[in-house]
Each structure stands twice: as structure tokens, then as C-alpha cells.
């Protein structure tokens, strides 16, 4: 499977993520690393986390150079070349509210991550915002990897987008699936991908 990001950067990012889980604050991973943990397809360059308890902000301020980004409604830490984006309940704006995301989590390899359905919606939200950029291309690859390699419950996905008035995401997901061309990034040959694509579209019809 072809790698998307430079492997030296992704290894550094993974080491930082593993060091964060040993720190005394609780978080849930979203973004590219959550996609990797569910699919084992593509490692990430940046780290995106949801902070479970706002009180932990005190620890972060004391131990890191923590910046508040009011425009994007998040907090930011930089460790060498690695960006860490921190989203908090009742402040940050994601496709789904942070407090809703925190209700749907699982633990993989000792790291708490959002469910595949929530992650799919968050990835779609990111893709819509930056679809013409390099990161937008990575979002689409992560979306396809989640559809192919993670245990997405399409009915649960459908319920979440309806409950949060994101019905347009359903059509966009079909468009991404139908138009996806970068199959070298998902480890399938053209025939395998064609069969998988039909299977996904069939499941979406029934959702």
C-alpha cells in the first residue's frame, strides 16, 4: 500500500501520540490517527484530540506552549514539526459536537478513539472544508479506508447524520465512493475495489 505522508514524520508523530497517553490528562483521538487505529492503513502527520475534561487544560498550560485559536475554535500545541489540535466540549466546532463525539468511543491499542461512524462524519466535515487541498485528498483516502477496513455500522451513521441535520453528508459519501480513483492508497487492485465499492453502495442504500 502506497504511503501518503513522509514516514519519518509519521513515526515522530506516533511517538508523540504514544507519549501523550502516558500523561495525566484524558483525551480521545480523532482525525488521521483515529483512522489509522481503526484501519491500519495510513499513519498521520498531525494529531487531533478531544479533551475529555476541561479541567485538564490547566495541566496543558503548565507543561506545553498552548495557543488558543479563536477562529477555528480549538487549542494548539506544536512539538517539533508535529501539530497537535485540541478540541473541547461546548467551545470547539466540528461536524458533530465534541460532547456528542465523546459518547461514542472505543479503545484500540491502549488509545481511546471515536467510533467509526463518528469518525466518518468528522472526516467528511474536514473534507468538505478543504476538499481542493492535499489534506482534503488525505481525508477522502481515510474515508474510503474506513468504509473498507473498519466496522462501520451504516444504520448508526445514518441516524447520527439525521439527528445532527447533516443529511447532505449521505450524498457526499456516495459521491466520494463513486469517484474515488486513488486505489493505490487503499491496497486493493481495480477488480477488488470495484467489488468493494458495489458492496458499500449497497449498504448505503439499505441504511
Residue 54: give the domain boundaries.
7-206
Give a yes or no: residue 78 inside a domain.
yes
DSSP string, 76-118: EEEETTEEEEEE-TTT---SS-HHHHTTSEEEETTEEEE-HHH
Give a yes or no: residue 2 inside a domain.
no
**pLDDT more than 90, % of the chain:** 84
pTM of the shown model = 0.94
Give a yes or no: residue 156 inside a domain.
yes
CB count, 10 Å around CB of 100? 17
Residue 5 is predicted with a pLDDT of: 64
Give a yes or no: residue 117 inside a domain.
yes
User: How many domains does the chain contain in total?
Assistant: 1
pLDDT in tens, 58-100: 999 999 999 999 999 999 999 989 999 999 999 999 999 999 9
Give a yes or no: residue 123 inside a domain.
yes
**pLDDT more than 70, % of the chain:** 98
CATH of the domain at 188: 3.30.460.40
Q: How distant is the alpha carbon of residue 178 from its chain centre? A: 21
Residue 207 is predicted with a pLDDT of: 82
Amino acid at each position: 500500500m502506497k504511503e501518503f505522508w513522509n514516514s519519518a514524520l509519521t513515526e515522530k508523530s506516533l511517538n508523540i501520540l504514544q507519549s501523550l497517553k502516558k500523561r495525566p490528562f484524558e483525551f480521545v483521538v480523532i482525525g488521521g490517527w483515529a483512522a489509522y487505529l481503526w484501519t491500519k492503513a495510513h499513519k498521520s502527520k498531525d494529531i487531533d484530540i478531544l479533551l475529555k475534561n476541561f479541567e485538564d487544560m490547566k495541566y496543558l498550560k503548565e507543561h506545553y506552549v498552548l495557543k488558543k485559536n479563536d477562529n477555528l475554535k480549538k487549542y494548539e500545541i506544536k512539538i517539533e514539526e508535529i501539530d497537535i489540535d485540541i478540541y473541547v466540549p461546548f467551545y470547539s466546532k466540528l461536524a458533530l459536537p465534541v460532547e456528542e463525539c465523546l459518547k461514542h468511543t472505543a479503545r484500540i491499542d491502549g488509545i481511546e478513539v471515536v467510533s467509526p461512524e463518528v469518525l466518518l462524519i468528522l472526516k467528511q466535515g474536514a473534507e468538505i472544508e478543504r476538499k481542493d487541498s492535499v489534506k482534503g485528498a488525505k481525508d477522502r483516502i481515510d474515508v474510503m479506508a474506513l468504509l473498507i477496513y473498519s466496522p462501520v455500522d451504516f444504520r448508526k451513521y445514518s441516524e447520527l447524520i439525521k439527528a445532527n441535520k447533516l443529511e447532505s453528508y449521505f450524498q457526499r459519501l456516495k459521491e466520494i465512493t463513486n469517484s474515488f480513483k486513488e486505489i493505490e492508497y487503499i491496497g486493493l487492485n481495480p477488480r477488488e475495489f470495484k467489488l468493494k465499492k458495489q458492496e458499500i453502495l449497497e449498504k448505503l442504500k439499505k441504511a
